[in-house]
Structure 1
Amino acid sequence: MDDKTQKLSLKREVGLVGAVSLIGGTMIGSGIFMSPQTVLHTIGSPGASLVVWACCGLLVIMASFCYAELGTVIRESGGEYIYILRTSGPVVAFMLIFSSVLFVRPAGVAGIALSFAQYVVAPFYSDCPPPVLLVKCVAAAAIITLSTVNCLNVRFSMSVQVFFMVAKVLALAVIIIGGVVMLIRGHTENFEDSFENTNVGINPIGIAFYQGLWSYDGWNNLNYVTEELKRPEVNLPRAVVIAISLVTGLYLLVNVSYLTVMTPKELMSSSAVAVTWGNKVLGSWGWIMSVAAALSAFGSLNGTFFSGGRVCFVAAREGHMVSIFML
């Protein structure tokens, strides 16, 4: 059994840059382009919405420290599946992996793929909603493409993740720089009395946090590939701190930019806030924001595939799934 386990162990091919890209590239998906208006509408004021985004980042980084400690103590891939298996036994772990494989992961992949497809086809249907069949076909093509890439080569898949991570940061940088330029020009009226009309009830705060945390989803992805991480005792905590701090800072600055360019009412009524921002600031080049959102969703989808495959592999190695997943 020891020889078999050794034979099926994964190669350590993920360095610090790849680790940061896996976390950050999965976190920065379509959420930051779709959630700000819901957070603002629920919490009621621009100032409170920025506080929610900051608190979500703080909550995520605190949770990630717990995962970093688990990952350095239990140096096996699989994330919460392997942690539950080692601490609570095979029955609970078996229930977790099958609910994840049959329901949670497929739903997440489908949702991200559909978001990607919506943004890809949006520039071609500026005057009307795109055909549902076309959106589904583009989403299916993205799923097939990335599943093939992740099956063929780990290094190439990680290179794809790094590339899209850089593309996402550049896209968010464009939004941030545009907002800074508008602030320098004196557009600060949306931040006057910024906490006025804040909803302080449990229900609005809870919903606002839920929407904000959805945009931070993916912070735990590195723990699914611990066995492939070089020097996990060093690179796992470093990658967590670097990636989540970077994403939190970007999210706050992007929201400031949104609120600088658009009034709270305009932001709340927008169905795709980044596209609305692009149309107001970039004019005829506003379609770039659709491309940026599509790239973000595509990179997030690749990260989901990369980590999800490792969970299936580890579960098969432990005898909780069919052995074909170990091939």
Structure 2
Amino acid sequence: MIGSGIFMSPEGVLRNMGSPAGSLLIWAACGLLATFGALSYAELGTLIKESGGDYIYILRNFGSLPAFLFAFTSVIVVRPAGVAAVCLSFAEYAVAPFYPGCASPQVVVKCAAASCILLLTLVNCLSVRVATSLMNVFTVAKLFALLVIIIGGVVLLAQGHVQSFQNAFQDTRTEAGIIGIAFYQGLWSFDGWNNLNYVTEEIRKPDVNLPRAIMIAIPLVTCFYLLANVSYFAAMTPAELLSSGAVAITWGNKVLGNWMWLISLSVALSSFGSANGTFFSGGRVCYIAAREGHMPGILSMAHVRFLTPSPGLIFTSVMSLIMVIPGNFSQIVNLFSFTAWLFYGTTVTGLLYLKIKKPELPRPYKVPIIIPLIFLMASIYLVLAPIMDHPQIEFLYVILFIFSGVIFYFPLVRYKYHPAFLQTITLHLQLLLDVAPIEKDVN
């Protein structure tokens, strides 16, 4: 879960909420909402013990068409947007030391982000072991950066740097849509709370370990995030935080002085590791959806020597590069969050359906029904409030894009129409990429 968000999103949350206290309330509420969502998904994961996360739950509860729309949107928009946003975070912190005292040129930032995407594609296509090792190594970097910021914040508070907390609720904004956008920015930092559900088949004793991991991890991460934000406000005034393109860099300049490069390096490594994790799971969404017949067959294939889902990874890489070129961090996060929470709500609706209509199903883990109900209501709010109170044309484009999937579903999936030229393209791609189908039971 811990990645680039806590080093990028505080500015977006404060900009929308208008006050330090309002921002901290949003961060706490984001942690609570992520916990409720993860607990709801834990029951789904012990009921439907298949990998695939939201996709497989929507498929089993609502059928083929909704699952296809999820896969269609996730593969083309949601996962690439996540990769693009994290790589832009990496780029901001990687190039910041080369432009002290001024904003980094956007051309340089975007080139660095594109290079990050291409490097991750290469690593994930060549070796699963190296990709997973990267995640473990960079976990140390992200925890180091957070602990330095938290300890520095404690020292600053002890020295009396509390000016940002005087009249802390002043200028707090209360418009429904603005609060929704603030949630988008905060919840981005918690993204990953449902990642274990993508590998349920590989978890030992999921009925015990899935809820246990959730109840330990998310409250701990929430505490880290709140303490990091307190440290930011202790070191900077709200105006200084809002003018910062990279919050942790500004914090490092003020608190660490010449040692600021440690924060820059740690955050860049943290963002790189987070991007790798997003990339790792994103390629597998392509793979699972294609395995079920909801995506082109080439995406269900793996490299004959490296045994990695390289076609899915390459496709995710191409879509991420397309998003990096015109977008910025906040725009991509809003696009990602709006789409993701639309499907999170759909998934939890499936859990409520199973609770009401099929109570006889064996449940190794059972969450109180009030928790998924609250989560569903929050999902509805997060989808509707920004549209009604602060409409943006991008949200309309997303909705139209989701439903445009129907055009492809009926001929290609429902009636299994496979034009000869598509089969020819698949064959040539197989030869070019050196990939072959893998049977489901073998995988």
Q: What TM-score do the two structures reach when normalised by structure 1? A: 0.85
Distance apart, 1:230 and its partner CA: 2.6
Distance apart, 1:158 and its partner CA: 2.2
State yes or no: 1:147 paired with 2:121: yes
State yes or no: 1:227 paired with 2:198: no
Paired AA for residue 326 in structure 1:
M
Partner of 1:89: 63
| Counterpart Cα distance in 2 of 1:129 and 1:184 | 31
Partner of 1:49: 23
Partner of 2:279: 305
CA deviation map 1:227-270 (0-9, x unaligned): 22233222222222222122111100000101111122222222
State yes or no: 1:79 paired with 2:53: yes
Aligned length: 301
Partner of 2:293: 319
Give the percent of matched residue pairs that are identical in Structure 1 and Structure 2: 63
CA RMSD of aligned residues (A): 2.0
Identify which range, 57-66 or 126-135, moves more after superposition.
126-135
Distance apart, 1:131 and its partner CA: 4.9
State yes or no: 1:251 paired with 2:239: no
State yes or no: 1:268 paired with 2:242: yes
Partner of 2:439: none
| Counterpart Cα distance in 2 of 1:117 and 1:137 | 8
Identify which range, 172-181 or 216-225, moves more after superposition.
216-225
SS at match of 1:319: coil
Distance apart, 1:188 and its partner CA: 2.2
The within-5 A match list for 1:159-174 is: 159-174=133-148
Paired AA for residue 29 in structure 2:
C
State yes or no: 1:156 paired with 2:126: no
Change (3 A) 1:310 1:226: farther
Change (3 A) 1:231 1:150: farther
Identify which range, 71-80 or 170-179, moves more after superposition.
71-80
CA deviation map 1:43-93 (0-9, x unaligned): 222222111110110011101111111111111111111111111111221
Does the 8 Å CA contact 2:93/2:249 hold for their aligned counterparts? no
Identify which range, 135-144 or 302-311, moves more after superposition.
135-144
Does the 8 Å CA contact 1:225/1:310 hold for their aligned counterparts? no
SS at match of 1:321: coil
Partner of 2:391: none
CA deviation map 1:243-299 (0-9, x unaligned): 212211110000010111112222222222111110000112223222222122111
Partner of 2:214: 240
SS at match of 1:110: helix
Structure with more relative contact order (C-alpha pairs < 8 Å, separation 6 or more): 1
Distance apart, 1:146 and its partner CA: 2.1
Paired AA for residue 65 in structure 2:
V
| Counterpart Cα distance in 2 of 1:155 and 1:233 | 26
| Counterpart Cα distance in 2 of 1:56 and 1:131 | 32
| Counterpart Cα distance in 1 of 2:293 and 2:287 | 10
What are structure 1's unaligned runs of at least 5 residues?
1-26
Identify which range, 132-141 or 50-59, moves more after superposition.
132-141
SS at match of 2:168: coil
Change (3 A) 1:265 1:237: same
What are structure 2's unaligned runs of at least 5 residues?
303-443
Does the 8 Å CA contact 1:29/1:215 hold for their aligned counterparts? yes
CA deviation map 1:105-142 (0-9, x unaligned): 22322222222122212212225554555434432332
Larger radius of gyration: 2
Does the 8 Å CA contact 1:77/1:311 hold for their aligned counterparts? no
Partner of 2:84: 110
